[in-house]
Amino acid sequence: MVRERFTQKILDVKQKVLKMGALVENIIDTSVTAMKTQDLDLARNVLKKDDEIDQLELEIEKDCMMLLALQQPLAKDLRTIASVLKIITDLERMGDNAVNIAEVILEIGEEPILNSLKDIPRMADIAQKMLKMSLDAFVNEDIALAQKAAERDEDVDRLYETVINDFLNIITEKRELTKQGTKLLFLGRYLERIADHSTNICERTIYMITGELKEIN
């Protein structure tokens, strides 16, 4: 009976991680939409959503600490709790990156956005798919999906490198575009970090399942 209750508590914690993940997916989607449409009201809404993510992170962390203190879990249960503590940190930082994206959009305001850095929206699309795949891999304990999601990080890195090169070409030709180009470069950096955090979730998921912790890329 005690074991059944403990197993249920583990499942409850994983469900809270999924809830936190859904909030992060939503805030990233909102910030990316604000970026693509240059919707300043939508960008402002992003700034209001981050507190809920932070609060849920603290709640999950407290649950994990209680399980560690009262149940003294071993083997996979211990790996699951340790992985959850790492994963919620990555999710919280993704939320912060979404806020950063919204803040950049607000800084640019209604100024027409350069079309030259066209790979930024492509980075956003891949980063969002990576997050969804990594959360699905976590909840379903799917090693193959975790590896597939993490491998997409290389696509994001390549696009970010292209963005940097395009930016350098832009400011070489038109110095007056340096200010906005720099802000757009930050957008690329925040999206690249979101992809990195998704990769971390995949690596922790594989560790949770197998007990083997290693970098996928």
59 vs 64: CA distance, rounded Å: 9
Residue 1 predicted with pLDDT over 50: no
Q: Which long-range contacts (CB under 8 A, 24 or more apart) does 42-49 make?
A: 43/102, 43/103, 43/105, 43/106, 44/102, 44/106, 46/98, 46/99, 46/101, 46/102, 47/99, 47/102, 47/103, 49/23, 49/95
Q: What is the pLDDT of residue 217?
A: 65
**Per-residue pLDDT tens for 172-205?**
877 777 888 888 889 999 999 999 999 999 999 9
**Per-residue pLDDT tens for 16-61?**
999 999 999 999 999 999 998 999 999 999 998 899 999 999 999 9
Q: What is the pLDDT of residue 2?
A: 63
Per-residue pLDDT band at 71 (split at 50, 70, 90): confident
pTM score, whole prediction = 0.92
* Phi, psi for 216 (deg, rounded to 5): -80, -40
Token pair 């575009």 is found at: 177
Instruction: Provide CB contacts within 8 A for 207, sequence distance 6+.
Output: 79, 83, 213
Q: What is the pLDDT of residue 171?
A: 79
Instruction: Provide CB contacts within 8 A for 95, sequence distance 6+.
Output: 23, 24, 27, 28, 49, 50, 53, 54
Mean pLDDT of 126-150: 96
Secondary structure class of 61 (helix, strand, coil): helix
Domains of the chain: 2-210 (1.20.58.220)
Per-residue pLDDT band at 213 (split at 50, 70, 90): confident
